Amino acid sequence: MPFRDIAGHDHLKPLIARAALRGTLPPSLIFAGPSGVGKRMAALALAQLVNCASPVAEDACGECASCRRIARGVHADVLIIEPGETGAIKIEQIRDAVERSAYRPFEGRRRVVIIDDAEHIAPAAQDALLKTLEEPPSGTTFVLVTSMPETLLSTIRSRCQRLRFGRLSPGDVAGVLMAAHGYSEADAHAAAAFSDGSVGRALEEASDAFVEARDAALQLLEAVAKDPPPARRIQASGGLPGAGRSKADRDALAQSLLAMGTLLRDLGVLGAGGDARALANADLKGKLQPLARSFDQDRILSSFAAVDRALNALGRNASPKIVADWLAFQI
Ligand SMILES: [Zn+2]
């Protein structure tokens, strides 16, 4: 997909695109950053741009034959190398790419060799690659995609220009989950709040459980917001998951506590008059806004500390019921 369809990385994308169009892109690049944030997609967008028949606004069109072939993974000049069943990128795979890069591109203007999960290049294969990076063939760009750039040989790293991809905002992650993975708005925001800025991580987690955990956390905050009498607080704690003693109960409560942390952070953002787009739980803005009036910064900080202590207690095998009851009096 072209750069414009990739979420986030708003400074990096135009930088890469402009350098590619001007022909000033270094022949060897490392796309480094957390997994699941779109590094490989950016490498493919770059391959599309340098081979696109009719670029639009400093980006690939996404529709010409070349763009479509690259998107389908069948373009003769765009090679994607990734770990095989053994988990390693073997020397044969690197040799094949190196041999091909000695020839001019077959159908496109520029050959792009994308090595995904490059930290898995076997040591001998790294040596083979290094020789090519030292004298890069004129028609080929190498892009090493990795979340662990420091595990590459220092000699390889020094031959490549490194571009750092950061984490995505919760809003960007939610947007991708809705647009590309069919998530409902509530599911997308709930999963995004726990994703640590990675679409990949959000997809790994079960979002149903998150939605429930977050709902329970929100209900507790709402129930205690106006500082009700003790009996009501105890009653409210019963709404948290994990009343039993099993490991599953403990995990469910821990998830709710993590959700509460993201809700408290959002209340802090709203209370400080911050940008609502920065909210981890943007879909709950309508419920959080009135709640923010009951939670000043001091209360948010002490609640945060209480959530932290509750998580620690759970980690030390405290009873979920006792932890939930205690927490309901601290917030
Ligand atoms: Zn195109």
**pLDDT at residue 110, rounded to an integer:** 92
User: What is the spatial distance between Cα 311 and Cα 250, in angstroms, rounded to a whole number?
Assistant: 10
Distance 24 CA to ligand 1 centre (A): 20
- pLDDT exceeds 90 at position 200: no
Distance 106 CA to ligand 1 centre (A): 17
User: What is the spatial distance between Cα 140 and Cα 121, in angstroms, rounded to a whole number?
Assistant: 19
**pLDDT at residue 243, rounded to an integer:** 67
Measured CA to CA in angstroms, residue 22 lies from 17, 195, 275 at distances of 9, 36, 36
Distance 4 CA to ligand 1 centre (A): 13
What is the average pLDDT value for the chain, to the nearest integer? Answer: 91
Q: Label residue 185 by pLDDT band (50, 70, 90).
A: confident
Distance 2 CA to ligand 1 centre (A): 9
Indicate the SS3 state at residue 91.
helix
Residue-wise pLDDT for 288-303, tens only, equals 999 999 999 999 999 9
Among the listed residues 212, 187, 190, the one whose alpha carbon sits nearest the alpha carbon of residue 262: 190
- pLDDT exceeds 90 at position 30: yes
**E strand or H helix at 196:** none
List Cβ neighbours of 249 (8 Å cut-off, separation of 6 or more).
241, 242, 243, 320
Distance 112 CA to ligand 1 centre (A): 15
Distance 44 CA to ligand 1 centre (A): 12
Give the mean pLDDT of 316-331. 92
Distance 137 CA to ligand 1 centre (A): 24
Query: Could you tell me where the beta strands, DSSP code E, fall in the chain?
Result: 28-32, 78-81, 111-115, 140-146, 161-164
Task: Catalogue the long-range contacts made by 206-212 (C-beta closer than 8 Å, 24 or more residues apart).
Answer: 207/183, 209/252, 209/255, 210/255, 210/259, 211/186, 211/187, 212/241
User: What is the spatial distance between Cα 35 and Cα 193, in angstroms, rounded to a whole number?
Assistant: 17
Distance 50 CA to ligand 1 centre (A): 9
More confident of the two residues 106 and 210: 106
**pLDDT at residue 206, rounded to an integer:** 59
The whole-angstrom distance between residue 197's C-alpha and the CA centroid of its chain comes to 4
Distance 51 CA to ligand 1 centre (A): 7
Residue-wise pLDDT for 265-293, tens only, equals 999 999 988 887 778 888 899 999 999 99
Give the mean pLDDT of 84-103. 89
DSSP string, 119-175: GGB-HHHHHHHHHHHHS--TTEEEEEEES-GGGS-HHHHHHSEEEE--PPPHHHHHH
**pLDDT at residue 239, rounded to an integer:** 87
Phi/psi-derived region of residue 273, left when phi > 0, alpha when psi is between -120 and 50, beta in every other case: left
Give the mean pLDDT of 93-119. 90
- pLDDT exceeds 70 at position 183: yes
Distance 1 CA to ligand 1 centre (A): 10
Tokens of 54: 């009719």
Distance 147 CA to ligand 1 centre (A): 29
Tokens of 58: 């400093």
